[in-house]
Chain A
């Protein structure tokens, strides 16, 4: 036994070094665990929403979209006076479902963005403001070829462009009053792993995904806004 121990002295050095390094690793992990509370980035409920990038059309012209400027990291649940929620609508101007839902989107965006007023000039919606943002993509389907002109035409109900085989100017609902992001290259759609259009995501004022149509079990985006923003208030 004694001879065996003498011949294994070298292994002891490596064990000693290994224990030291593992202890150091463990301490580092403990420091990280006690001082941070990381939130995964993703599109599932409870995850931090990935960024939306691209040029955005607001009715006047195309400017760079800065998603972070909409969020407030200090927002806490129940804080109704600060921060606005965001509803992101992934759509394609030639997708029949998107064209059909444009009316609901127009109605509820005006309502939740507090554009629609009552007889006294006060917003009809008394909850926190919900900023609507559309990310307009071009699906890889024949007949879905799109352009910035078509995005403008769809949003404003103007021009001579065609959306799903008909004039964009005659699509259901009124003109939209929110930002449209050019995602014709599908960058945002891929980053968000959007399976199809239209897809809706409701984002809390601190940038966390609160609801998504993919996990909704039939609940509409406007029902979700009413349920979640008022519940948090």
Chain B
């Protein structure tokens, strides 16, 4: 199966999640609220977007771990003579595990995005809890620290002269999630977090 189809399958929900978290998502409020009336609220759209991004990051991480395992069996999954060859990146034993514990980067991605999903799920269900804002900040710090890991992995790719498309998709998910957590804290600070804030804003207009 053409692995690029998977890339498209991951890119679509990722892009949709990003749109939901930006001002462009506000213009979709009316359309979305016809399907689910609760989507009229900015925070609910934002958390849906953040959940989607976290989920894509988690699934892509599982996929990269699966590819790593398949390569270790001796198989070819996405080998290519071009610069885009995830086999060459994920199959390189010198770089496909973290330098401290020797854990596969895919497994680390699963744990990281699983933790982010826990935050988005918990905060989405209880947005007004005392811990909610603190958890959003944890998410922001985690994805912020992820930038350092991304820089390390990109440096590996530059050294190898190859790019792993699936890894790049996970990196993009992390960057979008960082934006999502940052914007969530902004919604908090600007008083747009609560459901009735949207209604008040609409009334004011």
Contact = CB atoms under 8 A, between A and B. Distances in A.
Interface of A: 10, 13-14, 16-18, 20-21, 24-25, 28, 31-32, 35-41, 48, 50-51, 71, 73-74, 191, 206-207
The 9 closest A-B pairs by CB, nearest first: A73-B74, A36-B69, A17-B121, A41-B93, A38-B69, A17-B122, A13-B126, A38-B72, A21-B118
A16 B122 CA distance: 8
B117 A32 contact: no
A25 B94 CA distance: 26
B72 A39 contact: yes
Contacts of A28: 58, 62, 110
A198 B56 CA distance: 49
A191 B93 CA distance: 9
Interface of B: 58, 62, 65-66, 68-70, 72-76, 92-94, 110, 114-115, 117-118, 121-122, 125-126, 129-131
B125 A17 contact: yes
Nearest to B122: A17
A14 B119 CA distance: 8
Contact of B66 (A10, A36, A41): A36
Given A21-B117, A24-B117, A32 B72 contact: no
A32 B66 contact: yes
Contacts of A191: 93-94
Given A32-B65, A37-B69, A14 B122 contact: yes
Contacts of B121: 16-17, 20-21
Nearest to A33: B69
B203 to A, nearest CB: 30
Nearest to A28: B62
Given A17-B122, A38-B73, 20 more contacts: A10-B130, A13-B126, A14-B126, A16-B125, A21-B117, A21-B121, A28-B58, A28-B62, A31-B66, A38-B68, A38-B69, A39-B72, A39-B73, A39-B74, A48-B93, A51-B93, A73-B75, A73-B76, A191-B93, A191-B94
Contacts of A38: 68-69, 72-73
B118 A18 contact: yes
B177 to A, nearest CB: 15
14 contacts: A10-B129, A13-B122, A13-B126, A13-B129, A14-B122, A28-B110, A31-B66, A32-B62, A32-B65, A38-B69, A39-B73, A41-B93, A51-B93, A74-B74
B118 A207 contact: no
Contacts, number: 73
Given A24-B58, A41-B93, A35 B66 contact: yes
Contacts of A41: 72, 93
B122 to A, nearest CB: 4
A41 B115 CA distance: 29
Contacts of B73: 36-39, 73
A68 to B, nearest CB: 9
Contacts of A21: 114-115, 117-118, 121
Contacts of B118: 14, 17-18, 21
B132 to A, nearest CB: 9
Contacts of B122: 13-14, 17-18
A159 B65 CA distance: 50
A18 B118 CA distance: 6
Nearest to A207: B74
Contact of A24 (B66, B76, B114): B114
A136 to B, nearest CB: 21
Nearest to B54: A21
Nearest to B102: A40
Contacts of A14: 118, 122, 126
Given A10-B129, A17-B125, A20-B121, A71 B114 contact: no
